Amino acid sequence: MAVEVRVPPVLRKFTTGAHTVQGEGRTIAELLDDLDRRYHGLKAEIINSDGTVHRFINIYRNGEDIRYLDRLNTPLKEGDVVSILPAIAGG
């Protein structure tokens, strides 16, 4: 089941510059595992050693923040779009 993943500029070093990539998984967690197999090191930039999403990373499924869904267990289906966005701060 193919899912489109939108990759922010800071993580494109893992995807050889690609803005979007394809991944597979029934959940966000499975998708991240699949992406890490394809783009080694990517998952470590998104997930903490305790298995939670880094504090300054936001993940969206079809525009909905997974923090308000089922977090890493959020289900995916064919054609979904997942966006990985680093939090931006400034002043």
Task: Name the domain count of the chain.
Answer: 1
CATH code at position 7: 3.10.20.30
User: Does residue 80 form part of some domain?
Assistant: yes
Q: Read off the pTM.
A: 0.94
Distance of CA 43 to the CA centre of its chain: 8
Q: What is the pLDDT of residue 91?
A: 59
| Residue/partner pairs of 38-43 with CB below 8 Å, 24 or more apart | 39/14, 39/15, 40/14, 41/14, 42/11, 42/14, 42/15
3-state secondary structure string, 20-49?
A: EEEEECCEHHHHHHHHHHHCCCCHHHCECC
User: Does residue 48 form part of some domain?
Assistant: yes
User: Does residue 77 form part of some domain?
Assistant: yes
User: Does residue 91 form part of some domain?
Assistant: no
Residues of the chain with pLDDT under 50: none
Q: What is the pLDDT of residue 88?
A: 77
Q: What is the pLDDT of residue 90?
A: 62
Q: What is the pLDDT of residue 66?
A: 98
Domain range for 61? 2-86
Residue type present at position 62 = N
| Residue/partner pairs of 14-18 with CB below 8 Å, 24 or more apart | 14/39, 14/40, 14/41, 14/42, 14/45, 15/39, 15/42
User: Does residue 9 form part of some domain?
Assistant: yes
User: Does residue 76 form part of some domain?
Assistant: yes
Q: What is the pLDDT of residue 87?
A: 84
